[in-house]
Amino acid sequence: MSRNDYSTQWDELAQVKKELADRDWFMGTSGNLAIRVSTSPTAFLVTASGKDKRKQTDEDFLLVDERGEPLKETSLRPSAETLLHSKIFQSSQAGCSLHVHTVPNNVVSELYGDRGEITFKDQELIKAFDKWQEDDTLTIPIIHNHAHIPRLAEEFSPYVKGDKGAVLIRNHGITVWGRNAFEAKKLLEACEFLFQYQLSLLTLKNIKQPI
Ligand SMILES: CSC[C@@H](O)[C@@H](O)C(=O)COP(=O)(O)O
Ligand SMILES: [Zn+2]
């Protein structure tokens, strides 16, 4: 496959990357992004490891197979967390997955980490996840931040139940996926809104325990 064969996906991922960078969601080189290029066999573009994702270069992404191995000779290393993106693309029809570290997602993951999840109700933005009914709830699982990435990917894997979803990794960040880049970004923004809301509410009400 030549660059021409996936220039659309490249440009789309570059655009999302720029928009997330504009939000300052890539502090300290954190974060990684992936977009599907083909389904059978699975192939996807993923961010190169260790780079400042706020910068735009011709070496921002590399093409990898379903196991996250580069499909072409390259000096670039795929993201350290490529295996999580692999799990998503292998187990669903998702087209794009996004991983960012923010202070709100980290604080929420720590506050609610012992519960293993956080649930939102009576919040307009849960509609982003197709929760349209008045009694609907949105639950985001929180998993342990295993340093061993295959172990982390194993714990992450059962939560990939559909073409869209979100998982918090405790004191690390969030991984969100959707059918395409537009949807993945929408879901990520909805999650970050909900986290910021929850933290503001706890602060303003002076609530010490998670509710
Ligand atoms: C430098 S801290 C962040 C990393 O440990 C990791 O969690 C991360 O999100 C970025 O890793 P990367 O290999 O660049 O995709
Ligand atoms: Zn990370």
Pocket lining: 145 vs ligand 1, CB cutoff 6 Å: no
Strands annotated E in the chain: 32-38, 43-47, 61-65, 96-100, 117-121, 137-143, 165-169, 173-178
Domain total in the chain: 1
Domain of 140: which CATH number? 3.40.225.10
Question: Does ipTM exceed 0.95?
Answer: yes
Q: Give me the pLDDT at residue 1, please.
A: 84
Pocket lining: 50 vs ligand 1, CB cutoff 6 Å: yes
Q: Which residue from 13, 29, 101 has its CB within 8 A of the most atoms of ligand 1, so it is best to mutate?
A: 29
Residue 185 belongs to some domain of the structure: yes
Task: Say what the pTM is.
Answer: 0.97
| Nearest-angstrom CA–CA distance, 39 and 89 | 8
pLDDT by residue (tens digit) across 46-90? 999 999 999 999 999 999 999 999 999 999 999 999 999 999 999
Amino acid occupying residue 56: Q
Residue 197, domain extent: 3-204
